[in-house]
């Protein structure tokens, strides 16, 4: 057995509607995944091969993982998630074996998605250690072996696309390169609203105002702001022993506590 924890098949429950903003990206990726499943004969007729791999890049907390999961949920694909660092931290030779196992598991579970988070950990330019090179070579070999997107789609995510080995992005590999950026004003409003639907929000809370004041925040930071406001309301409940809705004053407290790391990077 490998030293790596078992990679379990998941059935994610993330829907496109759980993700604020990213409209074009959603449409684009939907097409990439659904077209080969729905219209294989159209693709064959026009001699267009299905995509095998998608690279999602962009700053942390901006929904790369959510997008990968939504792709699986919405198209009814099995989902295997692996972190790059997890694969690399193994005895000599074990990383390669772990990688091959993941692909064989994904083939057995097809149609499926393999999601590699922090792909840079195993696919940095080939200047690194010998071990790292072997892992990258194994990854490229496995990707070249997947016959069609209909079966197994590789989705990889990174915050550091510049360190990736260009061989990984060649046609037929992770050649579908998609930037997943911080939410704009409309997207921030949506992210707030998605969270607020599952909470109890007071009438004085103005989502437009919150979205204006969170320019440069990642989606993860917006969720963190909401939860911190929720905690401030819970503090009030401790004091009053009465249920409290989340009011603007709770968001005021939260915005002093939660600052965006994203913009200050």
Positions touching ligand ATP (CB under 6 A) are 19-22, 60-66, 117, 157, 159, 183, 191, 194, 219-220, 223
Question: At its nearest, how many Å lie between ligand ATP and the CB of residue 62?
Answer: 5
**Closer CB to ligand ATP, residue 36 or residue 188?**
188
Question: At its nearest, how many Å lie between ligand ATP and the CB of residue 41?
Answer: 34
Q: At 157, give phi and psi (nearest 5°).
A: -130, 145
**Closer CB to ligand ATP, residue 91 or residue 179?**
179
Alpha-carbon gap, residue 153 to 168, rounded angstroms:
14
Question: At its nearest, how many Å lie between ligand ATP and the CB of residue 223?
Answer: 4
**Closer CB to ligand ATP, residue 33 or residue 119?**
119
Taking a C-beta distance cutoff of 8 angstroms, is the pair 80, 237 a contact?
A: no
Task: Tell me which residue has its CB nearest to ligand ATP.
Answer: 219
- Reading the block at residue 122, the tokens are 């195993």
- Bond into 111 cis (ω within 30): yes
Taking a C-beta distance cutoff of 8 angstroms, is the pair 139, 123 a contact?
A: yes
**Closer CB to ligand ATP, residue 21 or residue 53?**
21
Question: At its nearest, how many Å lie between ligand ATP and the CB of residue 60?
Answer: 3
Question: At its nearest, how many Å lie between ligand ATP and the CB of residue 26?
Answer: 10
Beta pairing, strands 152-158 & 112-117: parallel
- Reading the block at residue 51, the tokens are 């995509």
Sheet holding 176-179, edge to edge: 9-10, 78-83, 112-117, 152-158, 53-57, 176-179
- Reading the block at residue 177, the tokens are 């390169």
**Closer CB to ligand ATP, residue 134 or residue 255?**
255
């Amino acid at each position: 057995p490998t030293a790596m924890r078992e990679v379990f098949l998941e059935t994610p429950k993330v829907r496109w509607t759980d993700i604020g903003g990213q409209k074009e990206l959603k449409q684009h990726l939907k097409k990439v995944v659904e077209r080969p499943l729905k219209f294989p004969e159209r693709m064959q007729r026009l001699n267009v091969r299905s995509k095998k791999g998608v690279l999602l890049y962009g700053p942390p907390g901006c929904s790369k993982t959510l997008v990968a999961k939504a792709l699986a949920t919405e198209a009814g694909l099995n989902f295997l998630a692996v972190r790059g660092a997890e694969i690399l931290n193994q005895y000599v030779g074990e990383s390669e074996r772990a990688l091959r196992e993941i692909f064989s598991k994904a083939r057995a579970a097809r149609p499926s998605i393999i999601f590699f988070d922090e792909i840079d950990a195993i696919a940095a330019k080939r200047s690194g250690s010998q071990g790292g090179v072997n892992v990258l070579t194994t990854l490229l070999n496995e990707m070249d072996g997947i016959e069609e997107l209909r079966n197994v789609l590789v989705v990889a995510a990174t915050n550091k696309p510049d360190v990736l080995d260009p061989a990984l992005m060649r046609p037929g590999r992770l050649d579908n390169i998609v930037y997943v950026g911080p939410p704009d004003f409309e997207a921030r409003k949506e992210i707030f609203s998605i969270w607020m639907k599952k909470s109890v929000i007071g009438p004085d809370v103005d989502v437009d105002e919150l979205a204006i004041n969170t320019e440069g925040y990642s989606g993860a930071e917006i969720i963190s702001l909401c939860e911190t406001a929720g905690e401030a309301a819970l503090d009030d409940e401790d004091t009053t022993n009465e249920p409290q809705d989340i009011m603007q004053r709770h968001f005021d407290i939260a915005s002093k506590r939660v600052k965006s790391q994203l913009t200050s990077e």
